[in-house]
């Protein structure tokens, strides 16, 4: 009596795919490496030999301290302004998007479906189409209400909330539909109101998608240049990091050493946040796409 041999599944990847993956890793890592080595040089070394390793790595710390503490550059205040704008925008985007998506997912009416479709359709509208009307609207609102929206924290945060909520609602909506309705019904039987049900039962379950929405919107808000340029303008008391970095590039002189050191400093918070939340990003995106 012959016994069939157990066929072991292949678990090893072809060598060619491993080499291709490593090459892709180097291509992705190369810009970061170039920023690092050129931020550790003076402006003449950057322009003369941008691919060479720095002769003195301690120059990186010198460039960073000069940028951070120089009051004329104002990088320190720009860094904290970007931090305030990013955190405040993410707080409102996550809260408002989660509540709106929950209501739309649980209220299966024609009105809610139309509103959801309008929000999804708004994601395909290019920002360049609405950027000039946005400035006009903000100026009109300031004249009517007296609330300064241009060159202020309120205006830039409100703009980011408006542009960030459609895609966030879309992601939350797919995740909320996968939450069992019995949990909310049990909370309602126990005497919870609608808000209590959302914040005590639903909101904690949304932890993976919270991180996904926060990281994706946070990277966009932190690195955005065009919207702060339009709403805040150049030379304003409130500047973001991209605006501060752009100030190193003048019409005739470009301070490449300071510019690259500033870019390196701007990359660090995003990299740290992504490393801490990467598992939630993947979990949130996959859960929201299949439910």
pTM metric for this prediction? 0.84
Cα dihedral 255/256/258/263 (nearest 10):
130
User: What's residue 289's pLDDT?
Assistant: 47
Overall average pLDDT of the 270-281 stretch: 77
**What topology is assigned to 70-290 in CATH?**
MetI-like fold (1.10.3720)
Domain ranges of the chain: 70-290
| 136-171 confidence digits (pLDDT tens) | 999 998 888 888 888 899 999 999 999 999 999 998
Overall average pLDDT of the 235-244 stretch: 85
pLDDT at 13 over 80: no
Distance CA 32, CA 37 (A): 9
Distance CA 262, CA 242 (A): 9
Measure CA of the first residue to CA of the last residue in the chain; give whole Å. 49
Residue 260 and residue 46 in contact, taking contact as beta carbons nearer than 8 Å: yes
Q: What's 16-31 look like in SS3?
A: HHHHHHHHHHHHHHHH
Confidence band (pLDDT; 50, 70, 90) for 286? Answer: low
| 78-96 confidence digits (pLDDT tens) | 999 999 999 999 999 999 9
Beta strands in 131-250 (DSSP E): none
User: What's residue 253's pLDDT?
Assistant: 62
Distance CA 241, CA 227 (A): 13
**Helix, strand or coil, per DSSP, at residue 249:** strand
> What is the average pLDDT score of the chain?
84
Per-residue burial over 243-265, b = 16 or more CB atoms within 10 Å of its CB, e = otherwise: bbbbbbeeeeeebbbbbbbbbbb
Confidence band (pLDDT; 50, 70, 90) for 10? Answer: low
């Amino acid at each position: 009596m012959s016994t069939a041999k157990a066929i072991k599944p292949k678990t090893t990847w072809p060598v060619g795919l491993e080499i291709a993956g490593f090459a892709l890793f180097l291509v992705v890592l190369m810009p970061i490496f170039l920023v690092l080595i050129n931020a550790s040089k003076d402006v003449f070394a950057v322009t003369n030999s941008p691919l060479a390793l720095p002769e003195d790595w301690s120059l990186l710390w010198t460039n960073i301290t000069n940028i951070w503490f120089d009051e004329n550059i104002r990088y320190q205040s720009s860094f904290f302004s970007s931090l305030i704008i990013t955190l405040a925008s993410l707080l409102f985007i996550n809260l408002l998007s989660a509540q709106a998506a929950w209501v739309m997912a649980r209220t299966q009416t024609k009105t809610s479906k139309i509103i959801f479709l309008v929000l999804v359709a708004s994601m395909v509208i290019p920002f360049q189409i609405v950027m000039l009307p946005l400035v006009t609207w903000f100026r009109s609102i300031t004249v009517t209400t007296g609330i300064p929206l241009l060159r202020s924290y309120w205006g830039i945060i409100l703009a980011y909330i408006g542009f960030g909520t459609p895609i966030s609602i879309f992601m939350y909506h797919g995740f909320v539909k996968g939450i069992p309705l019995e949990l909310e019904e049990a909370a309602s039987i126990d005497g919870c109101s609608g808000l209590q049900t959302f914040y005590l039962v639903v909101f904690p379950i949304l932890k993976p998608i919270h991180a996904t929405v926060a990281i994706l919107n946070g990277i966009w808000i932190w690195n955005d240049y065009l919207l702060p340029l339009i709403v805040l303008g150049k030379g304003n008391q409130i500047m973001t990091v991209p605006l501060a970095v752009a100030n190193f590039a003048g019409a005739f002189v470009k301070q490449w050493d300071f510019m690259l050191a500033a870019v390196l400093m701007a990359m660090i918070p995003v990299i740290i946040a992504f490393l801490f939340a990467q598992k939630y990003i993947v979990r949130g995106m996959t859960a929201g796409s299949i439910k």
